[in-house]
Amino acid sequence: MKLVWLRRDLRSVDNTALNNAIASGEPVTAVFIATPEQWQQHHMAPRQADLIYRRLDELQKELQALNIPLLYSEVSDFAHSAQRISEIAKLFSASEVLVNQEYEVNEQKRDKLAQIALAEQGIDWLSLHDKCIVPAGSLLNKQGQYFKVFTPFKKAWLSAASIPRIQPTQSAPEMVLPDEVQGLLWSKEQPFSYPREDSSQWAADFETIRAQLRTFCQERVDDYQQRRDFPATDCTSSLSPYLAIGALSARQCMARLYAESNSGNLSQGAQTWLSELIWREFYQHLLTFEPKLCKGRDFLNWGRYVIWWQDNEKFERWCRGETGYPIVDAAMKQLNQTGWMHNRLRMIVASFLTKDLHIDWRWGERYFMSKLIDGDYAANNGGWQWCASTGCDGQPYFRIFNPITQGQKFDGKGAFVRHWIPELRSVPEKYVHAPWLWAGVNLVLYPARIVDHKAEREVTLDMYKQARDKEIHVA
């Protein structure tokens, strides 16, 4: 019997470990092990936990149709999950445990512990590349070094990648579970002690998720490049929550993108969306070469010398969406109320936290993970360090988003701001992104600006210059 240990790969279609187990011709069992204390350490959002919980219920039905039982267990952390998988494998007399590899440091340590525990029982371990279209860590430049800049990475990626072919998942041989393990079968009666918040606005069944992918590729992707930055319109794919928990694979996305293209020639919009998928892989690629990224460290060495401000009050106002800058506040309210934020807005609010409030990007990184339904460590860390200018291929430190002009450019009529901040609905369009300039604004209802952007921009330039100078001096 083959045992497939599912983690952030909660799908029955295009699952490398699952397909490999089925191809063996032996009976197959799948297992998911919840680790609430570990999730807490990783700041998992309760909405993401709820999506995982609901997805397990749908996945159980999908696997049942393939003659594959879905087992479930809950332990405290990764170390205990490594021990638990060996216990379950022994209980089932499994010949092999198969997993899809994860690249973060804690996940790598967990898998090493599991492999050791299984080896002591004579049970094989097979770890497979699955999360990325081009396996993370497999692309190197001509000097044999890993890519530190996105554009050459993308060029190498496009040369290495081929259009995936998604095959239907075959059924496994039928198996009868012994009575003593019936209690391990997944059901909603199983303990799932991690806090959950309602994620019902996001589908959990595969058919709906796949339909969403197809609809986007058929109807909206061609305009993606022109319309993706406008948060008041529904122009993005909104598939990131499914990629984050593995309910959908990047290969499925790429395959569908080309299936809907004109003779394999991608439109400009489709190429731009493919670039977003490649960005996700770029950040996974970096984790394989720079474990320090999983340890709260800056990618660029000079980042360690930035003297961040420890201002809890301003940070809390940023978290609540009470900065007095409408586009920032509307974005944070969207995040707090829905668990999701438009990508353009993620850049705006991250720039504001680090370069207007001078607060450590790590504070924002943790807060995002605690709220985002699509929280993915590599993508979140990469995005935050990009905005803070301390990361790989990050925006130059002297480029600082202006929250007023960003709002005017991407929410010109203020539709997004008015939706999330009702107290600004009566503000004229001319002033909606700078309401303090309108004589009729009621600052009792809407807060005054927390800082003056123009002044704080100069502070940031000086902070970063000092950090860079110090790094040169120390070196």
Known active-site residue 302: no
Query: What is d(CA 322, CA 316) in angstroms, rounded to the nearest whole number?
Result: 8
Q: Is 140 labeled as ligand-binding?
A: no
Query: What is d(CA 107, CA 246) in angstroms, rounded to the nearest whole number?
Result: 15
Q: Is 159 labeled as ligand-binding?
A: no
Q: Is 192 labeled as ligand-binding?
A: no
DSSP 195-253: -----TTS--SHHHHHHHHHHIIIIIGGGHHHHTT-TTS--S---HHHHHHTSS-HHHH
Beta strands at 2-6 and 70-74: parallel, antiparallel or unpaired: unpaired
Please give the single-letter amino acid code of residue 114.
A
The answer to whether residues 99 and 127 touch, using CB atoms and an 8 Å cutoff, is yes
Kindly name the residue from 67, 290, 301, 308 that is annotated as catalytic: 308
The answer to whether residues 271 and 184 touch, using CB atoms and an 8 Å cutoff, is no
What residue has token string 């394999």? 264
Known active-site residue 343: yes
Q: Is 277 labeled as ligand-binding?
A: yes
Query: What is d(CA 2, CA 95) in angstroms, rounded to the nearest whole number?
Result: 6
Q: Is 8 labeled as ligand-binding?
A: no
Structure tokens, 323: 């900065």
Kindly name the residue from 5, 186, 202, 279 that is annotated as catalytic: 279
- Show Cβ contacts of residue 184 under 8 Å, excluding neighbours closer than 6 positions: 31, 71, 72, 73, 88
Q: Is 238 labeled as ligand-binding?
A: yes
Known active-site residue 276: yes
The answer to whether residues 342 and 374 touch, using CB atoms and an 8 Å cutoff, is no
Q: Is 5 labeled as ligand-binding?
A: no
Q: Is 70 labeled as ligand-binding?
A: no
Backbone angles phi, psi at 360, to 5 degrees: -50, 130
Backbone angles phi, psi at 110, to 5 degrees: -55, -45
Q: Is 374 labeled as ligand-binding?
A: yes
Q: Is 74 labeled as ligand-binding?
A: no
Known active-site residue 318: no
Kindly name the residue from 74, 276, 290, 471 that is annotated as catalytic: 276
Known active-site residue 308: yes
Q: Is 283 labeled as ligand-binding?
A: yes
Q: Is 37 labeled as ligand-binding?
A: no
Backbone angles phi, psi at 249, to 5 degrees: -100, 155
Q: Is 376 labeled as ligand-binding?
A: yes
Q: Is 390 labeled as ligand-binding?
A: no
Count of Cβ atoms closer than 10 Å to residue 465 Cβ: 12
In order of 42, 293, 355, 447, the CA distances from 436 in angstroms are 39, 40, 21, 9
Please give the single-letter amino acid code of residue 356.
D
Kindly name the residue from 343, 423, 438, 456 that is annotated as catalytic: 343
Known active-site residue 363: no
Kindly name the residue from 39, 186, 361, 363 that is annotated as catalytic: 361
Q: Is 205 labeled as ligand-binding?
A: no
**Closest CA relative to residue 315, chosen from 383, 362, 347:** 362
Q: Is 407 labeled as ligand-binding?
A: no
Catalytic positions, please?
276, 279, 308, 343, 361, 384
Residue ranges of the annotated binding site for FAD are 224, 236-240, 273, 276-283, 374-376
Residue ranges of the annotated binding site are 224, 236-240, 273, 276-283, 374-376
